[in-house]
Amino acid sequence: MKVLVAVKRVVDYNVKVRVKADNSGVDLANVKMSMNPFCEIAVEEAVRLKEKGVASEIVVVSIGPATAQEQLRTALALGADRAILVESNDELNSLAVAKLLKAVVDKEQPQLVIMGKQAIDSDNNQTGQMLGALTGFGQGTFASKVEVSGDKVNVTREIDGGLQTVALNLPAIVTTDLRLNEPRYASLPNIMKAKKKPLETVTPDALGVSTASTVKTLKVEAPAARSAGIKVKSVAELVEKLKNEAKVI
Amino acid sequence: MTILVIAEHTNAALAAATLNTVAAAQKIGGDIHVLVAGANAGAAAEAAAKIAGVAKVLVADNAAYANQLPENVAPLVAELGKSYSHILAAATSNGKNILPRVAAALDVDQISEIIAVESADTFKRPIYAGNAIATVQSSAAIKVITVRSTGFDAAAAEGGSAAVEAVSGPADAGKSAFVGEELAKSDRPELTAAKIVVSGGRGMGNGDNFKHLYALADKLGAAVGASRAAVDAGFVPNDMQVGQTGKIVAPQLYIAVGISGAIQHLAGMKDSKVIVAINKDEEAPIFQVADYGLVADLFEAVPELEKSV
């Protein structure tokens, strides 16, 4: 079974981003970039499926600038077999990304597509579901457990009140939640080997996909700051403040 | 301009988040219709018809919609949604699951988790874990939007008398099946709707120690949450997670216990009215957002707090 994994290059999750003075966006100059944490979980899940003998080939795809090759090489070092970069310097919306992924799915014909549930930059949580609509595949979003058996995949999903399990016909799309697995680190020999694995670059034009957007960002501002309050010395003082000052208990 | 609000419900009852979504629709302006897609969802539809400001309730009753499988519900919403200017759903796990599939089926972009309505086509939404707020404008023919409940005060649950109309939609797409669910059973209020939330972090040490928080929560009538660190460490299940990738809460009182205050956690609770932090590390970043900070050993402070409220 062929597995397609989509990964995104985003600002590292430890970086506290700052809004640009002209309110045009956030300042990403000289900021550490990494693979989106949920995408790392997606790569790990694919590698585990391959280790179990369920997956035969793992193709990893990223849509972004040329520098996203770094994240693709990381995925190759973790165990993906080959990589595809759909190179675009535009800031693409989820629908455009889903359309590009649909074109890659059409070409690669994977049985399972695994991707992160959301990217920690745009916080959209849309692309997997949109790809589901465009391909007509079933979707198992926010997955905490994935079990492939025959022509179906059972996905246990993190939902508001607990867990839900659905059975999807293959091909299907899975988006990862944080408890699905704990991603491994790439070993040095695997990092070296990954440099020799194939990495193909294509453009949105070559895939015949228009990436036009109907959403325009007018401005980006820092959130209203919350100022630190006071330190209380004892539980008794805390209770007194909550009762008489804040009046919340 | 007519707005379609997708009801969040359990068939038997309407979820509170629907009221916040209707409130966002009221800010946009125009007639508001509510779609209740489910099976034997008459009770949820009746409740939707009573919401103040709702003009019409559409009920799509079909076994295929019973468990909100997106492969079945999204085509229904996309078909009905074609005649609306806006389609809104709560940014719950269910709304997030279904609505992007609707947007792509309609070939329009989606705007996720709005926290404010500037005008009928312009909205504010948090990005980068709430470290920035983007104002975005949509030129899409149909604006497909998920609504963060904490951004909008709930519409009145009573006072309306909307007409209820049955609608039909596509049958089971045959791509997916509901296998089962394990829902956390709790007598405590739901995390996102609670007036008081008590949350624990890595400092709790283990899952068993959460009993101190449960005892305090029961005294206060509070819900219990957790940081991602506590979930990652396996102390508590993920449905208790408050933060960027968990639940977003904005209660009257948020008590953070043994939580350092990573930006990802702050993203989920910093709009709370009053924040209390209890942590033995006085340098913990949580104190920078807390109205009342108590530097103390939580295993002494929490039981004492429980006894004195």
| pLDDT tens digits, one per residue of A138-187 | 999 999 999 999 999 999 999 998 999 999 999 999 999 988 999 999 99
Residue B175 lies in a domain: no
Distance from the Cα of residue B307 to its chain's centroid: 32
- CB pairs A-B closer than 8 Å: 257
Q: If you average pLDDT over residues A192-213, what whole number do you get?
A: 96
Residues B158 and B25 in one domain: yes
Mean pLDDT of the region B38-61 = 97
The Cα diameter of chain A in Å comes to 68
From the list A26, A166, A242, the residue facing B128 with the nearest CB is A26
Best mutation target, B18, B68, B94, B96, to test chain A (most A CBs within 10 A): B96
Smallest Cβ–Cβ distance between B292 and the set A117, A125, A232 belongs to A232
Please give the share of chain A, as a percent, with pLDDT higher than 90: 95
User: Is pLDDT of A248 > 90?
Assistant: yes
Q: Residue B245's pLDDT is what?
A: 87
User: B-chain residues within 8 Å CB-CB of A125?
Assistant: 96, 100, 112
CATH number of domain containing B89? 3.40.50.620
Which of B98, B140, B289 minimises the CB distance to A214?
A: B140
Look at residue A21 and tell me whether its pLDDT is greater than 90.
yes
d(Cα A78, Cα A84) in Å, to the nearest integer? Answer: 15
Q: Are A23 and A219 in contact (CB under 8 A)?
A: yes
What is the reported pLDDT for B184? 82
Question: What per-residue confidence (pLDDT) applies to B276?
Answer: 98
Cβ atoms B47, B11 nearer than 8 A? no
Residue A246's pLDDT band (boundaries 50, 70, 90)? very high
Tell me the sheet residues that pair with B199. B225, B256
Q: Which of A158, A215, A231 sits opposite B109 (nearest CB)?
A: A215
Rounded CA-CA distance A110/A103 in Å is 12
B12 and B119 fall within a common domain:
yes
Per-residue pLDDT, averaged over B22-51, amounts to 98
* Interchain contact, A177 vs B177, CB within 8 Å: no
* Cβ-defined contact of A215 to B252 (cutoff 8 Å): no
Mean pLDDT across B159-175:
96
B242 neighbourhood in chain A, CB within 8 Å: none
d(CA A4, CA A175): 12
B195 and B161 in a single domain? The answer is no
Give yes or no: residues B42 and B153 share one domain: yes
Sort out which chain B residues have CB atoms less than 8 A from A248's CB and list them.
196, 252-253, 273-274
Mean residue pLDDT across chain A: 96
Mutate to test the interface with B, among A38, A126, A157 (most CBs of B within 10 A): A126
Q: Which of A40, A215, A216, A240 has the highest number of chain B CBs within 10 A, making it the mutation to test binding with B?
A: A215
- Same structural domain for residues B15 and B83? yes
Which tokens sit at A146?
């994935």
List pLDDT tens digits, range B226-249: 999 999 999 999 999 999 989 999
Residue B136 belongs to some domain of the structure = yes
pLDDT at B169 over 90: yes
Q: What is the pLDDT of residue B186?
A: 82
Nearest CA in chain B to A154: B179
Which residue of chain A has the CA closest to B132? A222
The Cα of B275 is separated from the nearest Cα of chain A by a number of Å equal to 9
How far, in Å, are A112, B164, B168 from residue B46 at the CA level?
41, 8, 18
Q: For position B251, what pLDDT does the model report?
A: 96
The domain that holds B299 is classified in CATH as 3.40.50.1220
pLDDT band at B52 (very low <50, low <70, confident <90, very high): very high
Section A209-233 average pLDDT: 93
Quote the number of domains for chain B: 2
Structure tokens given for B282: 């006085």
Confidence of residue A49 (pLDDT cuts 50, 70, 90): very high
Right CATH for A2-244 from 2.40.110.10, 1.10.260.40, 3.40.50.620, 3.40.50.720: 3.40.50.620
Least confident piece of the model among A225-234, B59-68, B273-282: A225-234
Average pLDDT over every residue of B192-206? 96
Task: Give pLDDT tens digits for A80-114.
Answer: 999 999 999 999 999 999 999 999 999 999 999 99
Instruction: Mark yes or no for CB contact B253/A218 under 8 Å.
Output: no
- On whether both B11 and B157 belong to a single domain, the answer is yes
Neighbouring C-beta atoms of residue A36, cutoff 10 Å: 25
CA end-to-end span of chain A: 57
User: Do the domain assignments include residue B172?
Assistant: no
Residues of B in contact with A142 (CB under 8 A): 93, 97
Give the C-alpha distances (Å, rounded to integers) separating A171 from A166, B51, B60, B73, B231: 14, 41, 28, 19, 31
Residues of chain A positioned with their CB less than 8 A from the CB of B77: none
Banded model confidence at residue A135, pLDDT cuts 50, 70, 90: very high
Q: Which of A157, A235, A241 sits opposite B308 (nearest CB)?
A: A235
Question: A202 to chain B, minimum CA–CA distance in Å?
Answer: 23
Contacts of A216 in chain B (CB under 8 A): 136-139
Output the six-digit token pair for A227: 């100022």
CA proximity to B20, closest of B126, B192, B149, B156: B149
* Tokens linked to A24: 């045009």
Tell if the CB–CB gap between A133 and B110 is shorter than 8 Å. Answer: no
* Interface touch A226/B270, C-beta < 8 Å: yes
State residue A226's pLDDT score: 83
> Shortest Cα distance from A176 to chain B (angstroms)?
11
Whole-angstrom Cα distance, residue B187 to residue B200? 19
Which of B127, B253, B278 should one mutate to test binding to chain A, selecting the residue with the greatest count of A CBs within 10 A?
B127
Q: What share of chain B is helix, strand, coil (3-state, %, to 5)?
A: 35, 30, 40
Q: Looking at residue A77, what is its pLDDT? A: 98
**Yes or no, beta carbons of B94 and A160 under 8 Å apart:** yes
- For residues B35 and B113, membership in a common domain is answered with yes
- Closest CA of chain A from B163, distance in Å: 30
Which of chain B's residues have a Cβ under 8 Å away from the Cβ of A153? none
Nearest chain B residue to A241 by CA distance is B292
Q: In the predicted model, is pLDDT for residue A120 greater than 90?
A: yes
Residue B132's domain spans which residues?
2-166
Please give, one letter per residue, the 3-state secondary structure of B137-181.
EECCCCEEEEECHHHCCCCCCCCCCCEEEECCCCCCCCCEEEEEE
Query: What pLDDT was estimated at residue B201?
Result: 98
Percent of chain A with pLDDT over 70: 100
Question: B104-134, pLDDT tens digit by residue?
Answer: 999 999 999 999 999 999 999 999 999 999 9
What is the predicted pLDDT for the residue at B187? 86
Q: What is the dihedral of CA B115, B117, B118, B121, to 10 degrees?
A: 120
Judging contacts by C-beta atoms under 8 Å, the chain A residues touching residue B92 are 160
Q: What is the pLDDT of residue A224?
A: 87
Is the CB of residue A197 less than 8 Å from the CB of residue A76?
Answer: yes
Edge-to-edge strands of the sheet including B223-226?
A: A230-232, B292-295, B274-279, B253-257, B196-200, B223-226
Put simply, the answer to whether A229 touches B128 (Cβ < 8 Å) is no
Write down the domain spans for chain A: 2-244
Assigned token pair, A50 = 């391959």
Contact B232 A178 (CB under 8 A): yes
The pLDDT of residue B282: 95
Indicate if B154 and B212 belong to the same structural domain: no
Backbone angles phi, psi at B17, to 5 degrees: -60, -25
- Would you say residue B33 has pLDDT above 90? yes
Residue B181 CA to residue A231 CA, distance in Å, equals 43
Average pLDDT, chain B: 96
In the prediction, which pLDDT does B102 show? 98
Question: CA B135 to CA A219: how far, in whole Å?
Answer: 5
Contact predicate A61/A5, CB 8 Å: yes
For residue A234, pLDDT beyond 90: yes
My answer on whether B131 and B46 are in the same domain is yes
**% of residues, chain B, pLDDT over 70:** 100
Cα–Cα distances in Å, from A37 out to A115, B186, B227, B231, B234?
11, 31, 17, 16, 18
The percent helix, strand, coil of chain A (3-state, each to 5) is: 30, 30, 40
Q: Which of A71, A82, A62 is nearest to A186 (CA)?
A: A71
Tell me what ipTM this predicted complex has.
0.95
Which residue is listed with tokens 């007018």?
A: A218
How far from B215 is each of A151, A222, B273, CA to CA, in Å?
47, 38, 22
Average pLDDT over residues B71-78: 98
